[in-house]
Amino acid sequence: MAETVDPVDGIIDAALPHVAFDGWTEKTFLGASADSGVDPVVARGLFPRGAVDVALAFHRRADRRMAEALGDADMGAMRHGEKVALAIRIRLGEVEGHKEAVRRAAALFALPRHAADGLAAMWGTADLIWRTLGDTSEDINWYTKRATLSVVYSSAALYWLGDGSPGHADTMAFIDRRIDDVMRFEKFKAAARSNPAVQPLLALTDRLARRIKRPGRNRFAGMPGSLGRQG
């Protein structure tokens, strides 16, 4: 018996060869729908905006595969920053061989009309990484961790797109440098807390920060942090 292919995966896989020539366009979407054998009405129902939604589905699929691989990884002896760096490496590895599709997606989501989709996709990637790593933040740290990682991941992805070094060694070193930068900043903040001159200010900001809570699943449905739960 032939294996049943999920229509979403079928259309994503069928779209990738077209993207290299036509980008994430309606032409690509129509070609992918035809090549996948999915009924055009069903395809449009799955991807109402056509190729834009296929590009987002491609991104989310790589996120899910990253989370599965990261969940199976042996990270017992790793420091916190090393775990985050590993997650970014795995995520980039999930789209290895599809650089042009990622490049075209970056151009697509740089357009003003799709910029919100691109930002939400990056936030969803960061959120899923943190949840997979067991993040339990409940206050403002929930937001700052995801915002910081969104920037680190997006900069690493852009560097990776232009990296021709063997095994993307330059990208791996770039990731380590960015993570080190973040960790040094965290150490700086921790050291600042022991400085009597700034303790009163930090006490005030801490009180304000404690009032900020992570979004709930129901009340804040649709917020960026919930994107990683889709699909």
Domain that includes residue 44, residue range: 7-229
In angstroms, the Cα distances linking 53 to 45, 48, 50, 118, 224 are 11, 7, 6, 11, 17
What is the model's pTM? 0.83
How many other CB atoms are found less than 10 A from the CB of residue 92? 24
pLDDT at residue 136 in the model: 85
Is there a domain that residue 2 lies in?
A: no
Is there a domain that residue 149 lies in?
A: yes
How far is the C-alpha of 139 from the C-alpha of 6, rounded, in Å? 38
Is there a domain that residue 145 lies in?
A: yes
Is there a domain that residue 157 lies in?
A: yes
Domains: count for the chain = 1
Is there a domain that residue 57 lies in?
A: yes
The helix/strand count (H/E) of the chain reads as: 10, 0
The crossing angle, in degrees rounded to 10, of helices 140-161 and 80-93 is: 50
How far is the C-alpha of 120 from the C-alpha of 146, rounded, in Å? 11
CATH of the domain at 154: 1.10.357.10
How far is the C-alpha of 64 from the C-alpha of 91, rounded, in Å? 9
Please tell me what DSSP assigns to residue 227. Answer: G
How far is the C-alpha of 182 from the C-alpha of 160, rounded, in Å? 19
Chain centre to alpha carbon of residue 208: 29
pLDDT, one tens digit per residue, over 43-69 is 999 999 999 999 999 999 999 999 999
Is there a domain that residue 1 lies in?
A: no
Is there a domain that residue 44 lies in?
A: yes
Segments of the chain with pLDDT less than 70: 1-3, 185-214, 216-231
